[in-house]
Every structure is written in structure tokens, then in C-alpha cells.
């Protein structure tokens, strides 16, 4: 039995402010290469420290869309069906540097922000090194 309310339970009684999912993801340089191959985004700031640093970045950065995609996954898992995701929006507020040795670990906490009719707004808190990397991250889920 899960400690989190299910979509059906939210429909019965909105649990505003309740965490419905939490997860951690680690991006490695290998993750970035694989994502680049899948997405076609071969911008060298995602795999070459020298290029990233030449444009004022601290080093190689995770793709914003990789971070965004990972962040919504706990909500998709919770919803039980990706088709239940009606809308998903974020603001990219801070880059995620991916170290060559340690990679980068992001944390995702999904909280019920609102429930209206049969739709829940799930607010995501996505952090790297305790700093928010996606702002106004909200997922609308059909209950």
C-alpha cells in the first residue's frame, strides 16, 4: 500500500499540499550522450567542457528537456497512464552542471496544488544541490 493518495482518492477528497510522488535521478555524461542521440540535440555544451566554459558556463550541462522529462516521470508513474497527463509546463530557472566523475543528481517532489472537477494540478519542486532548477513546474492530470 502506498503512502501517497491515488488519483481516485484525490477525486474523492482533494489532499491539497499532499506529496503524491518523490524521486531522484542521476544524470551522467553517458546519459547526456544517449539523450543527444535520441533527441538530436548535439549542442557541444552538453558534452564538451571546453566549449561550455568558453561561453561562460561552469562546464557541461544537462539538456533542459532531459531534466524536464525526468521531472514529470514520477507523476506519470503515479497517474498510471501517460494519457492522463493533460498539460505540463515549466520555466528553466537554473542549469544542471554534470560533472565528469560524479554526474548530477536531481530531486523531484510532486505535491497536489489544486483539484477542480476531475483535474488535479500537481506542482513539482525540482532541485539540484538544494537549488530549484525548474520554476513554476506544473502538471495537469486527469483524475
- What region does 40 belong to: left with phi over 0, alpha with psi -120 to 50, or beta? left
Q: The domain that contains 74 carries what CATH number?
A: 3.10.129.10
Residue 44: inside a domain, yes or no?
Answer: no
pLDDT tens per residue, range 91-132? 999 999 999 999 999 999 999 999 999 999 999 999 999 999
Answer whether residue 74 is part of any domain. yes
CB atoms within 10 A of CB 75: 24
Give every CB contact of residue 72 below 8 A, 6+ residues apart in sequence. Answer: 85, 88, 124, 139
Query: How far, in Å, CA of 19 to CA of 24, rounded?
Result: 14
Output phi, psi for 48, to 5 deg.
-125, 115
Question: Mean pLDDT of all residues in the chain?
Answer: 96
**Containing structural domain, residue 137:** 7-28+64-142
pLDDT category at 14 given cuts 50, 70, 90 is confident
d(CA 111, CA 15): 9
Structural domain includes residue 93: yes
Query: Containing H/E element for 75?
Result: helix 64-79
Asked if residue 1 belongs to a domain, the reply is no
Structural domains in the chain (count) = 1
Mean pLDDT of 38-51: 97
In this predicted model, what pLDDT tens digit does every residue of 58-86 receive, in sequence order? Answer: 999 999 999 999 999 999 999 999 999 99
Residue 50 lies in a domain: no
39 is a domain residue: no
74-104-60 Cα angle (round to 5): 125
For residue 27, what pLDDT band results from cuts at 50, 70 and 90? very high
Amino acid at each position: 500500500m502506498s503512502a501517497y493518495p491515488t488519483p481516485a482518492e484525490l477525486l474523492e477528497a482533494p489532499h491539497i499540499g499532499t506529496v503524491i510522488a518523490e524521486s531522484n535521478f542521476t544524470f551522467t555524461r553517458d546519459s547526456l550522450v544517449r539523450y543527444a542521440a535520441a533527441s538530436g540535440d548535439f549542442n557541444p555544451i552538453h558534452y564538451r567542457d571546453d566549449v561550455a566554459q568558453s561561453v561562460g558556463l561552469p562546464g557541461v550541462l544537462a539538456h533542459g528537456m532531459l531534466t524536464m522529462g525526468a521531472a514529470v516521470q514520477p507523476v506519470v508513474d503515479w497517474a498510471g497512464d501517460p494519457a492522463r497527463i493533460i498539460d505540463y509546463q515549466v520555466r528553466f530557472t537554473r542549469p544542471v552542471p554534470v560533472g565528469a566523475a560524479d554526474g548530477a543528481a536531481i530531486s523531484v517532489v510532486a505535491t497536489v496544488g489544486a483539484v477542480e472537477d476531475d483535474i488535479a494540478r500537481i506542482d513539482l519542486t525540482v532541485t539540484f544541490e538544494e537549488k530549484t532548477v525548474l520554476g513554476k513546474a506544473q502538471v495537469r492530470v486527469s483524475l
